[in-house]
Amino acid sequence: MAVPGLRVLRRRLDPRAYAKLIDRGFSRISRVIVHPKYRGIGVGTMLVRETLKLAGTPYVEALAVMARYNPFFEKAGMKRIEYRPRSEELVGRALR
């Protein structure tokens, strides 16, 4: 998130206060569950799309383990960003 003066605030605030400040600009979708009878007809995409309209924040994040197999977040207009835990990155470097 690009906010003027954010680096200055980061230096002046303790880590928890800084995290709370950043967190105010984000909403989260934690789970989208569709009954098996209604899967595959766009219900998940529609639910996410409507939720994005109601979020009330400039950024919405969704952590989805199964997203590569069922990309309804992307179909609803969200952008996929790959996330690798730091520990995996360090193990990968050590094995090279």
Q: Which domain holds residue 35?
A: 27-95
d(CA 71, CA 9): 36
Greater model confidence, 4 or 52: 52
Give the mean pLDDT of the chain. Answer: 80
Determine the residue type at 92: G
d(CA 3, CA 80): 22
Tokens of 42: 């766009």
The answer to the question of residue 52 being in a domain is yes
The answer to the question of residue 67 being in a domain is yes
pLDDT tens digits, residue range 9-34? 666 777 777 777 777 788 889 888 89
The answer to the question of residue 22 being in a domain is no
Q: Is the pTM of this model over 0.75?
A: no
The answer to the question of residue 82 being in a domain is yes
Determine the residue type at 10: R
pLDDT tens digits, residue range 63-84? 887 777 778 899 999 998 877 7
Determine the residue type at 2: A
pLDDT tens digits, residue range 39-64? 999 999 999 999 999 998 888 988 88
